[in-house]
């Protein structure tokens, strides 16, 4: 870890930062380690960048509200869903007093954002890496409960009845935050319709995954107006750059949404084909069913598998450090050509004595 200035807060010195795919790995010709959408769209920009942008650009807010079926007052746009996580913790958790509850294995930024705000983290492991441990969650007293569905890195959907059970248990005591970063790959599983019934429900969304705009860093928080108003007090004056706002508005147009849905259909088909291939290979002990644009694999030696693919200029991600997981790798779904190249590399690694069939 890099040396930190001695005047930094103790909480900052103690934090182990999130190791993003881009920061922890470099090189490679085929990037299948960051859950990005390889089927990237193209958009146009105008050149009016001499003025500060709106804090909450109307075209973006209205576009996402229409897409999600909500009122504009229920939508906040931020620098990725990561800023939404940060804003929720800073807005609702008193440092050293309140806590959050998370359900590993899951997205690492919930815990890191809490630690940066000196907010304790209750960790209640998923049962069989799939279902919520409801008694365990109910035994905590958090201000925020984070549930990721589809879950990263497993790709599982958290059952709707489990989420409702958490909402019914925590009424006035906590906000229940459902991270739907990958929901476009399984839209029928969204809990956005529950917002009208549960005013303490919060939903996180992003343009990074299905919309193919990871480089844009544009996310959304969906919640009751009172929650959105609290977050607006904490957000930066100009969180969304003008080019980001312009591209986001185009992505949320009818044409942009149709393009996204076509991309999702292609990725889902490629994912299902990859799952079939992976399940047939000796040395892969488990293939998680996925509802996202990635697949988690249990292998005998995760580091060796990652290194073997690096040797073929292909990057995947070792997720064995995740609480509740061991010897697993996560493979993002790439373009058709990239997936064909991956299939050949994996067959050479897992079936070295058999003729390649891909």
Cβ atoms of 198 and 174 within 8 Å: the answer is no
Question: Which region, left, alpha or beta, applies to residue 224 given φ > 0 means left and ψ of -120 to 50 means alpha?
Answer: beta
Classify the C-alpha dihedral 206-209-211-215 as positive or negative: positive
Rounded distance between C-alpha atoms, residue 18 and residue 114, angstroms: 12
Among 268, 270, 289, residue whose Cα is nearest residue 342: 270
What strands, in cross-sheet order, belong to the sheet with 317-318? 284-287, 294-299, 328-332, 317-318
Low-confidence ranges of the chain (pLDDT < 50): 355-358
Give CA separation, 167 vs 137, 187, 223, 262, in Å.
11, 20, 14, 33
Q: What is the pTM of this model?
A: 0.91
Predicted pLDDT at 25: 63
* Model confidence pLDDT, tens digit, residues 148-159: 999 999 999 999
DSSP string, 24-82: H----SEE-SS---SS-------S--SSPPPSS-HHHHHHHHHHHT--GGGEEEESHHH
Give CA separation, 340 vs 204, 216, 344, 345, 356, in Å.
33, 28, 6, 9, 12
Predicted pLDDT at 186: 98
Name the token pair of 300: 């005998």
Predicted pLDDT at 22: 55
Give CA separation, 142 vs 21, 98, 172, 191, 260, in Å.
30, 6, 11, 21, 36
Alpha helix locations (H) across the chain? Answer: 10-14, 21-24, 58-68, 80-92, 109-116, 134-138, 160-169, 225-234, 242-251, 254-280, 302-310, 336-350
CB atoms within 10 A of CB 152: 23
Cis-peptide into 302, omega within 30 deg = no
Predicted pLDDT at 5: 65
Predicted pLDDT at 357: 46
Predicted pLDDT at 43: 86
Predicted pLDDT at 356: 47
- Give 276's contacts (C-beta < 8 A, 6+ positions apart): none
Q: Please enumerate, as own/partner, the contacts of 348-351 that have beta carbons within 8 Å and a separation of 24 or more.
A: 348/312, 349/283, 349/305, 349/308, 349/309, 350/281, 350/282, 350/283, 350/284, 351/281, 351/282
Task: Identify the bridge partners of residue 101 per DSSP, sorted by sequence position.
Answer: 122, 145
Predicted pLDDT at 20: 62
Predicted pLDDT at 358: 43
Predicted pLDDT at 27: 72
Predicted pLDDT at 48: 77
Name the token pair of 353: 């004595």
């Amino acid at each position: 870890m890099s040396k930190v200035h001695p005047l930094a807060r103790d909480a900052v010195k103690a934090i182990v930062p999130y190791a993003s795919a881009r920061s922890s790995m470099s090189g490679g010709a085929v990037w299948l380690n960051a859950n990005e959408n390889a089927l990237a769209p193209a958009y146009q920009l105008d050149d009016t960048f001499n003025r500060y942008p709106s804090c909450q650009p109307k075209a973006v807010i209205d576009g996402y509200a229409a897409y999600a079926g909500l009122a504009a007052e229920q939508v906040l746009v931020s620098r990725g869903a990561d800023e939404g996580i940060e804003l929720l913790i800073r807005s609702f958790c008193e440092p050293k007093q309140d806590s959050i509850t998370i359900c590993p294995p899951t997205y690492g930024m919930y815990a890191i954002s809490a630690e940066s705000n000196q907010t304790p983290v209750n960790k209640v492991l998923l049962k069989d890496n799939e279902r919520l441990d409801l008694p365990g969650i109910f035994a905590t007293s958090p201000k925020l409960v984070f549930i990721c569905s589809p879950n990263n890195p497993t790709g599982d959907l958290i059952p709707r009845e489990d989420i409702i059970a958490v909402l019914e248990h925590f009424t006035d005591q906590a906000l229940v935050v459902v991270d739907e970063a990958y929901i476009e790959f399984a839209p029928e599983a969204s809990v956005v319709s529950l917002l009208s019934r549960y005013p303490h429900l919060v939903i996180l969304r992003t343009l990074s995954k299905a919309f193919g705009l990871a480089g844009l860093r544009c996310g959304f928080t969906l919640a009751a107006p009172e929650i959105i108003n609290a977050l607006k007090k904490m957000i930066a004056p100009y969180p969304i750059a003008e080019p980001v706002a312009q591209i986001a508005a185009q992505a949320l147009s009818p044409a942009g949404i149709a393009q996204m849905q076509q991309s999702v259909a292609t990725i889902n088909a490629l994912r299902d084909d990859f799952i079939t291939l992976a399940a047939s290979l000796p040395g892969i002990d488990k293939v998680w069913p996925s509802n996202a644009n990635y697949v988690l694999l249990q292998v005998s030696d995760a580091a060796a598998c990652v290194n073997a693919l690096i040797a073929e200029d292909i990057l995947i991600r070792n997720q064995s450090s995740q609480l509740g997981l061991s010897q697993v790798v996560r493979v993002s779904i790439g373009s058709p050509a990239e997936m064909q190249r991956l299939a050949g590399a994996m067959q050479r690694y897992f079936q070295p004595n058999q003729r390649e069939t891909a």
